[in-house]
Amino acid sequence: MSSKILFLFTISVSIFTLFLPTNSDIVSDRATLLSIRSALCGRSLLWNITSPTCSWPGVICSPDKSSVLEFHLPGMGLLGQIPPGLFSNLTKLNFLSLRYNALSGVILTDLFTSLHDLRNLYLQNNLFSGPIPDSIFSLTNLVRLNLAHNNFSGSIPESFNNLTSLGTLYLQGNGNLAGQPKDAFLGTSLCGKPLDSCDGSSSSIGEGKKKKLSGGAIAETRSADVGAISKQVEVEKPEERGVESNGGKD
């Protein structure tokens, strides 16, 4: 009798465990976060490795604690060049802030390609150089992008047209950027000087509701066509969390 009860109990436990959520994703994300701390000299990251990953400062997880959704590391003394593939396992990430650090060098072209859910990317006030990385233009869900006050150079690529969800953009403070902004942003529905007015007087960048370029989005570049851009009121969406704006000057 007792053996039969034990057998039934074992079967019940086995069936129950089939429906438990797997923690494989969070284990992978945890390893990635520790790699980031090691690679970017993040000694000031006060992470207790004996504590759950989702309790670490700057880390926000999904409700079921199965994956990292947001990663906030502003002003944490991170420095150096970001190694290739460093963020590749954070596939559920929708918010990444590395602003106000000393990250430098060229951003590799494939750095963000696996972050398909990313909606907010804040890289302002670092020491990045070289062209704006191609991997950014694969982030078709991106709503907010801040690359201000770095050392990016080259042309403003027409690939910005791929970012059809983009609502706010900051590129100012990159003195070596140049380009033809009207060509670069036709597909985004952004508006405001030097693009078309946001009052609906022109339809050259698409019909329907337009979004304003925020905070002089592409000021201080060398192209005469870019020029100095007057401040615009940012179009906010109340459903967006953790907005980091003000043109990189917050």
* Tens digit of each residue's pLDDT (9 = 90 or more) over 120-152: 999 999 999 999 999 999 999 999 999 999 999
pLDDT of residue 45: 85
Give the range of the structural domain holding residue 106, as residue numbers without chain letter.
21-242
pLDDT at 178: 79
Whether 39 is covered by a domain: the verdict is yes
Q: CATH number of the domain that 190 lies in?
A: 3.80.10.10
- What contacts 217, CB < 8 A, 6 or more positions away? 168, 169, 170, 171, 172, 190, 192, 229, 232, 247
Q: Is residue 157 part of a domain?
A: yes
Q: Is residue 13 part of a domain?
A: no
Residues of the chain with pLDDT under 50: 5-22, 202-209, 212-243, 245-246, 248-250
Enter the pTM of the model: 0.74
pLDDT of residue 46: 84
Task: State how many domains the chain has.
Answer: 1
Q: What is the pLDDT of residue 110?
A: 86
**Does 12 reside within a domain?**
no
Query: Is 33 contained in some domain?
Result: yes
Is the CB of residue 45 less than 8 Å from the CB of residue 73? yes
